[in-house]
Amino acid sequence: MRARSIFFILIASLSGCLAGWAHADHFAVLAFGDSITNGYKTNCSGSLWHTNSYCSYLEGQFISRSSHTASVSKNGEDGELSSAGVNRIGSVLGSGWADFILIMEGANDWYHGVSSGTVKANLSIMVDRSRNVGVTPVLGTVTPVQYGILPTTINAAIQQLASEKHVLLADQGTAIHASWPSYTLCDGLHLNDSGDAKLAETWMNALLNDPGVSVSAPSVTTGPATRVLPTSARLTGQVNPNGEATTYWFAYGKTQNYTNETSHIDAGAGTDTISVSASVTGLLPVTTYHFKLVATSLGGTVSGTDMTLKTPAVIVPVITPLLMVDE
């Protein structure tokens, strides 16, 4: 694609059959589109080259944000319009099994004056062809076409199509437009490494809405305090990791700002609810403390209900002297 042509479809597919999605550990992802997907780069002094675009970054997103891994292969075509994408998508879909196809197309259409209705119709064909071979499509809005210009009518059509066909949507246009100068190269059009990384992050945001990719946050319940003494107590609760590696701790303090916390403890990655507890010391006598159980995993950080305990006073034994009576 030349300096004035952007357009990209990302087709992502994750290895394994759709029926086995929820149990898959590794997925194959196909990135399909124009020069953005093709990793077009330039120094504006006559040199141009291609990188792996956002593909490697997306692989990293799978590792850091889900319990899966992925192989992402690039299938970009510089200067491609959506009509050409319709003609090419079949061969890409037929190149090997895919679970997802992430489709982002329309920038080059904008340059050539193609209507948003035509772009929408072409994308609809791509969505249908993907589903017909058992591949789940994900649509992406178009990034700014040059120097921050956002093709709003085309993006609105893409959003409408995603809603009508119940397709996951990655709003790349909004994600990139917010900090466009920091994401683009000297040509004001193609993306630098930071832009590629942002694309990967935004695709992953969409993919995490699919039940096969999503990760569950842990479930937590704050229990009562036990063994409450003037300067110490034992805090209790329950944690269910919901299948993700989870750690937990208790936050506590005199107010709900919880200025203290216990050590972070590994709760495993099981699916059963387990009882947990931790001892706290250094408390003040006759003082009310707030506490809650907190657990975190790739699925998020969750806090249990706030509970309170009140330490008792220190009991000072009273020694009554014995009176000696002379007989």
Q: What is the CATH number of the domain that holds 247?
A: 2.60.40.10
152: in domain: yes
133: in domain: yes
Question: What is the DSSP secondary structure assignment for residue 220, as one 8-state letter?
Answer: E
57: in domain: yes
Cβ neighbourhood burial of 198 (10 Å; 0-12, 13-18, 19+):
buried
The DSSP bridge pattern shows strands 307-310 and 288-297 to be: antiparallel
User: String of b and e for 304-319 (b: at least 16 CB within 10 Å)?
Assistant: beebebebeeeeeeee
| Inter-CA distances, 110 with 57, 143, 150, 158, Å | 27, 11, 10, 13
3: in domain: no
Residues 179 and 67 in one domain: yes
- List all residues 6 or more positions away from 48 whose beta carbon is below 8 Å from its beta carbon: 40, 41, 42
- The parent domain of residue 134 ranges over 18-207
Residues 88 and 161 in one domain: yes
Residues 202 and 223 in one domain: no
State the pLDDT at residue 326: 61
Q: For residue 97, which of 136, 66, 149 has the smallest C-alpha distance?
A: 136
State the pLDDT at residue 71: 85
Instruction: For the chain of 327 residues, list the mean pLDDT of each consecutive stretch of 10.
Output: 38 33 66 87 90 91 86 88 96 88 91 96 96 90 90 96 95 93 90 95 91 83 97 97 91 97 94 96 97 91 96 84 62
Question: Which of 172, 207, 242 marks a domain boundary?
Answer: 207
| Inter-CA distances, 283 with 115, 237, 261, 304, Å | 69, 20, 13, 21
Residues 261 and 296 in one domain: yes
Residues 191 and 240 in one domain: no
13: in domain: no
What total number of domains does the chain contain? 2
Residues 242 and 177 in one domain: no
321: in domain: no
Residues 253 and 191 in one domain: no
Residues 95 and 152 in one domain: yes
Half-sphere exposure of 159 (CA within 13 A, CB side): 11
State the pLDDT at residue 157: 98
324: in domain: no
Residues 72 and 192 in one domain: yes
Residues 67 and 175 in one domain: yes
Question: What is the DSSP secondary structure assignment for residue 137, as one 8-state letter?
Answer: E
Question: Which of 181, 207, 233 marks a domain boundary?
Answer: 207
Residues 27 and 175 in one domain: yes
Residues 68 and 117 in one domain: yes
Q: What is the CATH number of the domain that holds 151?
A: 3.40.50.1110
| Inter-CA distances, 174 with 53, 170, 186, 303, 313, Å | 19, 9, 21, 31, 59
Question: Which of 146, 181, 207 marks a domain boundary?
Answer: 207
12: in domain: no
State the pLDDT at residue 5: 37
